[in-house]
Amino acid sequence: MPFYRQEAEAVLLFLTRRTLDGEVALELTAETFAQAWRGWERVRVDSSEEMRAWLFTIARRQLSHYFRRGQAQRAAVRRLGIRTPSVHEDDLAAIEDAAGLGEVRHGLAIELAHLSDEQREAVQLRVVEEMPYEEVARRLGVSEPAARARVSRALRALQSSLASASVADGGLS
C-alpha cells in the first residue's frame, strides 16, 4: 500500500496536532483511510497532489465530526471490519513528540483562559495532564462519553488559536 505508506504519518500527525490526542488521532486516521479505500474508485485524480488533497479533505471531515459529536466517526472502519490497533505508551509519546504537542500545549496554557470553567478543567485534565478519559470522567463526575464530548467541544473552541500555532503542517493546514 504505497499510498498509505506515503501519507499515513502525515495524516496521523495532522490529526494529532488538532485533537492533541494520539489515540483519538489514530482512530481518525483509521477511519480516514477506510473511507478513502471505499471511495477510491469514485474519485478521479491525476496527480499525487490531488490525491493528497482528497485524502486530507476526508481527514478534515473526520475532525469536523469529532468536534461536533465528541467522538470519532467509525462508520467505514466498522463496515470493513477493521480493528483499530491500540497504541503503546512509548509509541504514543513518539507520535505526540513528532507532532510537536509540547509546544502546542505550552501555547494552550494562555488560550485556556478564554474557556469556560468546565471546559478548561476538561482540557487541563486530558490535554495538559494527559489523563485517560476514564480518569477525566471520574474527576469531573461525569460519564466517559460526556467527558469526551466536553473535551472535544473545548478543543473546537480552541481550534482557531491552534490553527495559528507555529506548528508545521506540511502545507496542509
Which parts of this chain interact with another protein (CB under 8 A)? 1, 4-5, 8-9, 12, 26, 29-30, 33-45, 50, 53-55, 57-58, 61, 68, 70, 75-76, 78-88, 91-92, 94-95, 98, 118, 132-134, 140-146, 149-150, 153
Smallest gap, in angstroms, from Cβ of residue 86 to another protein? 5
Residue among 153, 156, 15 nearest 84 (CA): 15
Give the 3-state secondary structure of residue 107. helix
Of 109 and 129, nearer to another protein (C-beta) is 129
Smallest gap, in angstroms, from Cβ of residue 20 to another protein? 17
- The answer to whether the Cα torsion of 55, 133, 95, 2 is positive or negative is negative
What gap in Å lies between CA 137 and CA 150, rounded to an integer?
10
Residue among 41, 17, 171 nearest 105 (CA): 17
Smallest gap, in angstroms, from Cβ of residue 153 to another protein? 8
Of 64 and 109, nearer to another protein (C-beta) is 64
